[in-house]
């Protein structure tokens, strides 16, 4: 799947025109997935004028457009389906959503779940600033999705930061916009969102092997899920790639030695570090898991830098988990052969 070809088919420029964005936001993604000025081919410049407020407002508009564009890439480039939640939501109720591939509930043996850090970025993004300054290949989850689909695995892309409906109202007396937020039912936090999708989708998939790739706060969210649905998660999840995770095993597991043992066996951490990719880093605590370098010192680039290593790990763990266990017959000893004489 050449998802970069989709960039040429799905025009970011058209999305800008349709949304009536400011004229000074004259940028588009080139064929390499890099954001460049249409006329000068220069990277994005934050300080467009002397007004900090105007620059920030322009930056927010760009972020919103990128979010919508990545959603389109997920649907049309990666062929993922958008699923609105909660599943029993009323038409008038604010809803969240996430994305998943077509066969999660049919003939699916292996499923990969992507869980990003906390922030303004939504489904399909590891980091929005990285998309703006480094490109779609480094800041989005699309290379991970593509690689998983090439392995004939199914994919679920969570949307843990889409927690509220923001209603801005204008005060007539002072002409100031005030923000009023409405929490989305079962999705008011990354933890709540992830648990809901687990209960209604991941746990019900036909996949017997599920892997999580979690970045930053996403690692903490996964450990929370593990504690909330311990037996289900331990039975269904075969491997977890924690990238610069902010989880705290000792604190979150509350002395649960069974869970701590599971984490040591089924989790692996990649952390931003000066050492080359995959080199062991420090001495892992007894309650935590093996830790290696992500091959970069930048938190925002840790997922893209460790992409190949993560999938090598997932493939190896999948082979181990699916390898048939040989049941050895007990060795007959001379004493066992002796039969009582009748």
pLDDT digit string (tens) for the chain, length 342 residues = 566 666 666 667 666 655 556 666 888 898 899 999 988 999 998 877 777 888 888 888 899 999 999 999 999 889 999 999 999 999 999 999 999 999 999 989 999 999 999 999 999 999 999 999 999 999 999 999 999 999 999 999 999 999 999 876 444 444 445 567 899 999 999 999 999 999 999 999 999 999 999 999 999 999 999 999 999 999 999 999 999 999 999 999 998 999 999 999 999 999 999 999 999 997 655 568 999 999 999 999 999 999 999 999 999 999 987 776 544 444 444 444 444 444
User: In angstroms, how far apart are the furthest CA atoms of the chain?
Assistant: 107
Q: Is there a single domain that holds both residue 239 and residue 183? A: yes
Q: Is there a single domain that holds both residue 203 and residue 140? A: yes
- Give strand pairing partners of 81: 100
For the record, the structure tokens of 26 come out as 């004259």
Q: Is there a single domain that holds both residue 214 and residue 241? A: yes
Give residue 51's pLDDT.
79
CATH number of the domain enclosing 268: 3.40.50
Sign of CA dihedral 277, 279, 280, 281: negative
Q: Is residue 164 part of a domain?
A: yes
Q: How far apart are CA 58 and CA 40, in angstroms?
A: 18
Split into its structural domains, the chain has a count of: 2
Give residue 168's pLDDT.
61
Q: Is residue 30 part of a domain?
A: yes
With H, G, I as helix, E, B as strand and everything else as coil, classify residue 100: strand
Q: Is there a single domain that holds both residue 39 and residue 171? A: no
Q: Is there a single domain that holds both residue 208 and residue 97? A: yes
Give residue 45's pLDDT.
86
Q: Is there a single domain that holds both residue 298 and residue 219? A: yes
Q: Is there a single domain that holds both residue 58 and residue 172? A: no
Give residue 52's pLDDT.
81
Give residue 341's pLDDT.
45
Q: Is there a single domain that holds both residue 87 and residue 217? A: yes
Q: Name the domain boundary from 77, 111, 140.
A: 77
Q: How far apart are CA 165 and CA 182, in angstroms?
A: 5
**Helix (H) or strand (E) run with residue 250 in it:** helix 249-253
Q: Is there a single domain that holds both residue 54 and residue 101? A: no
Q: Is residue 161 part of a domain?
A: yes
CA 232 to chain centre: 20
With H, G, I as helix, E, B as strand and everything else as coil, classify residue 126: coil
Return the closest-CA partner of residue 229 out of 273, 199, 264: 199
| 112 CB-near residues (< 8 Å, 6+ apart) | 144, 148, 153, 154, 155, 156, 210, 211, 212, 213, 314
Return the closest-CA partner of residue 243 out of 275, 268, 210: 268
For the record, the structure tokens of 119 come out as 């922030």
- Give strand pairing partners of 96: 85
Q: Is residue 331 part of a domain?
A: no
- Give strand pairing partners of 215: 243
Give residue 146's pLDDT.
95
Q: How far apart are CA 13 and CA 239, in angstroms?
A: 40
Q: Is there a single domain that holds both residue 123 and residue 13? A: no
* Domain coverage including residue 53: 1-77
Q: Is residue 337 part of a domain?
A: no
Q: Is residue 264 part of a domain?
A: yes
- What's the pTM value of the predicted model, to 2 decimals? 0.88
Return the closest-CA partner of residue 75 out of 164, 132, 9: 9
For the record, the structure tokens of 318 come out as 């999948």
Contact between 7 and 33 under an 8 Å Cβ cutoff? The reply is yes
Q: Name the domain boundary from 55, 77, 99.
A: 77
Q: How far apart are CA 260 and CA 254, in angstroms?
A: 9
For the record, the structure tokens of 42 come out as 């220069």
Q: Is there a single domain that holds both residue 313 and residue 185? A: yes
Q: Is there a single domain that holds both residue 91 and residue 168? A: yes
Q: Name the domain boundary from 59, 77, 95.
A: 77
Q: Is residue 329 part of a domain?
A: no
Q: Is residue 335 part of a domain?
A: no
């Amino acid at each position: 799947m050449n998802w970069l070809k989709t960039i040429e088919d799905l025009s970011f420029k058209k999305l800008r025109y349709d949304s009536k964005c400011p004229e000074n936001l004259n940028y588009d993604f080139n064929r390499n997935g890099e954001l460049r000025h249409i006329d000068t081919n220069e990277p994005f410049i934050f300080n467009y004028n002397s007004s900090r407020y105007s620059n920030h407002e322009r930056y927010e508009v760009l972020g919103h457009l990128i979010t919508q564009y990545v959603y389109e890439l997920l649907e049309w480039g990666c062929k993922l389906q958008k699923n609105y939640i909660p599943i029993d939501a009323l038409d008038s109720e604010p809803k969240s959503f996430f994305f998943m591939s077509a066969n999660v509930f049919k003939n699916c043996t292996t499923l990969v779940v992507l869980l990003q850090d906390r922030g303004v970025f939504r489904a399909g993004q590891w980091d929005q600033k990285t998309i703006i300054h480094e490109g779609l290949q480094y800041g989005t989850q699309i290379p991970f999705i593509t690689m998983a689909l090439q392995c004939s695995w199914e994919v679920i892309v969570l949307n843990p930061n889409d927690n509220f409906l923001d209603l801005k109202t204008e005060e007539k007396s002072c002409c100031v916009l005030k923000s009023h937020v409405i929490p989305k039912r079962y999705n008011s936090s990354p933890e709540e969102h992830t648990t809901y999708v687990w209960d209604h989708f991941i746990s019900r998939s036909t996949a017997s092997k599920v892997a999580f790739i979690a970045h930053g706060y996403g690692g903490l969210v996964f450990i929370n899920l593990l504690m909330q649905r311990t037996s289900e998660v331990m039975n269904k999840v075969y491997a977890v790639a924690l990238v610069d995770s902010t989880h705290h095993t000792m604190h979150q597991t509350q002395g649960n030695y069974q869970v701590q043992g599971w984490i040591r066996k089924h989790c692996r951490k990649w952390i931003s570090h000066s050492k080359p990719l995959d080199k062991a880093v420090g001495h892992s605590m007894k309650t935590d898991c093996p830790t290696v370098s992500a091959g970069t010192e930048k938190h925002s680039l840790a997922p893209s830098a460790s992409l190949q290593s993560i999938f090598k790990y997932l493939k190896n763990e999948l082979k181990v988990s699916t390898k048939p266990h040989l049941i050895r017959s007990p060795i007959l000893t001379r004493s066992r052969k002796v039969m009582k004489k009748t």
